[in-house]
Amino acid sequence: MHGKSSPVLLYVRPVIRVSAPPVDSPRLLRRHVADDRRLTPYERCRRAVASSSSDRRAAVDKIRRDAKRSDQRQGRVILTVAVMIALLIVGGAAFKPVKDWWDLRSLNGVQLADIGAKASVCGPRSFKAAQGDQKHVDPGTFVDYSAEPSPPAFGEHELYPDTIRRKLYTEKDRPRVEMLVHNLEHGYTILWYDDTIAKDGKQMDDLRGIAEKFQGTDDFRLKIKLVPWLKADGKPFPAGQHVAITHWAKKVADEDEKIAKAAKVTAEAGVWEYCSAVSGDALKKFMTAYPYFNSPEPSAA
């Protein structure tokens, strides 16, 4: 028989936890003080400078980060404002051409004679013996046309005319009168309009419609200018008249010979026709009677 086994006793060694003294404990502080005392004055100075430099770098880095964020915010604001201004400028610049195109749709396919009023709004043509052929002045030189009816249909003029490309002008961009008189010498018909027409949106649309009929540069039959006559330019048109059509003719048209002879005009002549409103009908009849080649210098552009 087996005897009873004796019990096995296990010995468990107790674990003693030793916590580190707190950072601000007197013992640890005394150790730091003792360590500092062992440092030389030079080493203590270096430690203080290093600690101070680290603090300064941290402060400078924070300032830089804050400044960078501020610059980024400011940059986004400036960019947004710039984009908005650009959109307003582009939109404003595009508005007028788009509006003009929209307003002119009704004149697409319309004949010149059907634009504006009928020729009955215009009076009879008037004539005066012309002079000033080949008499040029320097650009910018003032020429007094006050002795002749307004606007001028002949006379001394600037050395260079305006180009054939542009047809319609406003007060802001019209060439000088002296330059336009040179265009008359080259066979251009000029339709002058006063401030009453300039303030009338419908009649300005009619002028734009007329200008569209004469677009081009390679056909001298397109020699026409539609320009404003300003108060500063000289005498106003006759009472009740707001449009003047002028031409510098080499000779008076056959249909106007009787009127011209009564005015004692037998050679080169200035021709005027005044109207109370814009009339494509009157303009067509005028340019048929006085084409570009009936002028002192028809072959010049």
The pair of three-digit structure tokens given for residue 234, joined into one six-digit string: 């000289």
Residues 88 and 149 in one domain: no
Residues 59 and 117 in one domain: no
Residues 98 and 118 in one domain: no
Q: What is the pLDDT of residue 51?
A: 60
Residues 88 and 124 in one domain: no
In a domain, 12, yes or no: no
Give the C-alpha distances (Å, rounded to integers) separating 255 from 17, 174, 189, 258, 259.
Answer: 130, 32, 18, 8, 9
Q: Which of 57, 78, 105 is the last residue of a domain?
A: 105
Strands (E), the chain: 126-129, 136-137, 157-158, 189-193, 224-228, 243-249, 269-275
Q: Which of 105, 121, 145 is the last residue of a domain?
A: 105
Q: What is the pLDDT of residue 81?
A: 82
Burial 246-279, CB ≥16 within 10 A → b, else e: bbbbbebbeebeeebeeeebeebbbbbbbbbbbb
Residues 46 and 138 in one domain: no
pLDDT band per the 50, 70, 90 thresholds, residue 30: low
Q: Which of 54, 78, 105 is the last residue of a domain?
A: 105
In a domain, 208, yes or no: yes
In a domain, 48, yes or no: yes
Residues 125 and 248 in one domain: yes
Q: Is the pTM of this model over 0.75?
A: no
Burial class (CB in 10 A: 0-12, 13-18, 19+), 157: buried
Query: Whole-number mean pLDDT of the chain?
Result: 84
In a domain, 181, yes or no: yes
pLDDT band per the 50, 70, 90 thresholds, residue 100: very low
Total tally of structural domains belonging to the chain: 2
Q: What is the pLDDT of residue 34?
A: 54
What gap in Å lies between CA 274 and CA 257, rounded to an integer?
Answer: 18
In a domain, 299, yes or no: no
The answer on pLDDT for 29 being more than 70 is no
In a domain, 137, yes or no: yes
Rg (the chain; Cα; Å): 46
Domain that holds residue 55: 41-105
Q: Are 247 and 153 in contact (CB under 8 A)?
A: yes
Residues 98 and 243 in one domain: no
Residues 134 and 236 in one domain: yes
In a domain, 10, yes or no: no
What gap in Å lies between CA 213 and CA 26, rounded to an integer?
Answer: 104
Number of H helices, E strands in the chain: 7, 7
In a domain, 23, yes or no: no
The larger pLDDT score, comparing residue 60 to residue 147, is at 147
Question: What is the tens place of the pLDDT at every residue in 176-186?
Answer: 999 999 999 99
Q: Are 228 and 177 in contact (CB under 8 A)?
A: no
Residues 184 and 277 in one domain: yes
Residue type, 224: I
